[in-house]
Amino acid sequence: MIIVGVVAAIVVIAAVAFVVLSNNGGGGDIPTPGKRVGEELKESDYPSSEGRLWVYGNANEDDKIDASDLACIRDIIAGKIKATQLADANADGKITDADLEQVDLMIKAKADSKLRVYYVDNYFKVAKIDWPIKTFATGFSSGFYAAEVAGVTDKIVLVDEMMNDGWKKLNSHTADCETFGDEESPDWEKLLASGIDVYVPGWCESEADQLAPTKLKGIDVMFMNTSDNWYVKFPNEYIDRSITTFGYLIQGDMQRVYKWLDWHDGVLSKLKVAAATIDDKDKAYMVQARTDPAHAPTGNYLFIGYNQTNSIHAEWAGVYSVAQHDPLLAASNYPSITMEQLVTILDRNVDSNNRVYFIDNENAGIVMYRDLNTTLREWTSNMGKADADIFYVGMTRELGNSALYLIEMIFYQNLMYPQLTAMTGLNFVEELKYFIDNFAMEPELYYQYIDIEQWFKVLGEPN
């Protein structure tokens, strides 16, 4: 009976201790770190659009995680300032001293520190990633150029088939990488067997993205897609945000990233200031298409549509992108329409005062799926029925979907508004060289393999 009584007393004491621990001394349940993972944020709860580092712990929502974030969290706890989305550093739903501890660990983290970090991904969901990051897989131009900017191409183990065909030439490390297939239907077993820490899809592919977390158990899937928004409706383009967050989460060289951000912000500001001087009635009109053999037998062509990356960037540069305004082209990101329908669109949108630029947004560039000289002549022949005077232009696809998108915007202004070049002092070839010299890991390979004629092509001379 004595033994039974002692055992019972121990059980009661243990139970009381558990209750006290669980309720934080009677103050409610102790929140679980990472409790919010998987939560989809409402638009009203997004972090500041001015900040590019959407990582929990970036309490003041600027582009860095440092002592100022600790001060910010202390002020929030003390009730001096309003809470921010990213102040919940450990993503447990509350802002407490535990968030101060998390931020302190993040500030002091080294390359081999073991730490779980939380962030907002490109589906606007709370997500997590475990450090250290030794290896990852990625694809498309966006994944490659983001890795170059962050200085982490040496961590890439697997690439997708598209990157395998082209971008591997630009980096001796990725030249040895195997492929995991394409991003629409990845080889899940190969990704699992590779032992990578993280899988970073280069662009949004909703069906494969939904499968990835289940198929890749034990591997973090990081949706920081620095590419176009195919299949996904974003409120805007945030390539700068994606690259900054990607660089931090993959434990990259943030000084390189901040240097890229300085270049990015300076160039973008000049372009937008210049674009604001163009009166609506004087704007050049632009239509873009992709040469897609799969659509050719149907008599349809794949066009760049509403809120597609290139359409948004063109408008920022002061160009009237028809896809942002005409119902037929604005039906989706990539509307498939006939040539007769396109002629109708041009005839009802363009008057005699407007210049029209038809841009073949081609996978040329470093991939060289098609030759721009060939594709432009095909378009010239196909579109002969349009009343408008059309200038046929070719541009490599990878420009608009990556850390190079500013080059795309400079190209628009240099080509369509030569008078703005004197205002900005920007030249698309020179800025491409600046990117190569400052952000490529092996610039000599870029200069060896990039054929500028397959990045930009103009048939005829615009007025």
Q: For 421-434, what is each residue's pLDDT tens digit?
A: 999 999 999 999 99
Express as a percent the part of the chain with pLDDT over 70.
87
284 and 386 belong to one structural domain: yes
pLDDT for position 92: 98
In this prediction, residues 445-459 reach a mean pLDDT of 92
Supply the angle between the helices 309-316 and 254-275 in degrees, to the nearest 10. Answer: 60
Encode pLDDT of 245-259 as tens digits.
Answer: 999 999 999 999 999
Q: What angle do CA 21, 24, 29 make, to 5 degrees?
A: 95
Residue finishing a domain among 205, 223, 252: 252
Domain count, the chain: 4
The more confidently predicted of residues 372 and 275 is 275
| Stretch among 26-30, 49-53, 304-308, 379-383 having the lowest mean pLDDT | 26-30
Encode pLDDT of 316-339 as tens digits.
Answer: 999 999 999 988 888 777 888 888
Res 69 pLDDT > 60: yes
The more confidently predicted of residues 460 and 424 is 424
pLDDT for position 380: 82
Least Cα distance to 287 among 310, 309, 307 occurs for 310
Q: How far apart are CA 136 and CA 154, in angstroms?
A: 10
Q: How far is CA 390 from CA 55, 291, 337, in A?
A: 46, 18, 19
Q: How far apart are CA 369 and CA 372, in angstroms?
A: 9
DSSP SS3 for 433? helix
Residue finishing a domain among 71, 101, 127: 127
Encode pLDDT of 79-124 as tens digits.
Answer: 999 999 999 999 999 999 999 999 999 999 999 999 999 999 988 9
User: What's the pLDDT band for 293 if we cut at 50, 70, 90?
Assistant: low
| Stretch among 14-23, 85-94, 439-448 having the lowest mean pLDDT | 14-23
User: What's the pLDDT band for 172 if we cut at 50, 70, 90?
Assistant: very high
pLDDT for position 205: 80
The 3-state secondary structure of 130-162 reads EECCCCEEECHHHHHHHHHHHCCHHHEEEECHH
The more confidently predicted of residues 93 and 7 is 93
CATH number at residue 384: 3.40.50.1980
69 and 50 belong to one structural domain: yes
pLDDT for position 345: 85
306 and 184 belong to one structural domain: no
25 and 83 belong to one structural domain: no
343 and 440 belong to one structural domain: yes
pLDDT for position 10: 42
Give me the domain span that covers residue 206. Answer: 133-252
Tokens standing for residue 90:
């450990």
1 and 88 belong to one structural domain: no
User: What's the pLDDT band for 373 if we cut at 50, 70, 90?
Assistant: confident
Res 23 pLDDT > 80: no
The more confidently predicted of residues 211 and 344 is 211
In this prediction, residues 204-219 reach a mean pLDDT of 91
222 and 97 belong to one structural domain: no
In this prediction, residues 43-52 reach a mean pLDDT of 93
417 and 332 belong to one structural domain: yes
Res 461 pLDDT > 80: no
DSSP SS3 for 360? strand
362 and 447 belong to one structural domain: yes
| Stretch among 38-47, 159-168, 412-421 having the lowest mean pLDDT | 159-168
406 and 280 belong to one structural domain: yes
User: What's the pLDDT band for 206 if we cut at 50, 70, 90?
Assistant: confident
pLDDT for position 68: 98
User: What's the pLDDT band for 214 if we cut at 50, 70, 90?
Assistant: very high
Res 4 pLDDT > 80: no
pLDDT for position 2: 45
Express as a percent the part of the chain with pLDDT over 90.
60
432 and 295 belong to one structural domain: yes
204 and 297 belong to one structural domain: no
In this prediction, residues 11-35 reach a mean pLDDT of 50
Q: How far apart are CA 168 and CA 26, in angstroms?
A: 58
In this prediction, residues 339-360 reach a mean pLDDT of 81
Residue finishing a domain among 235, 252, 269: 252
Least Cα distance to 91 among 119, 64, 65, 63 occurs for 119
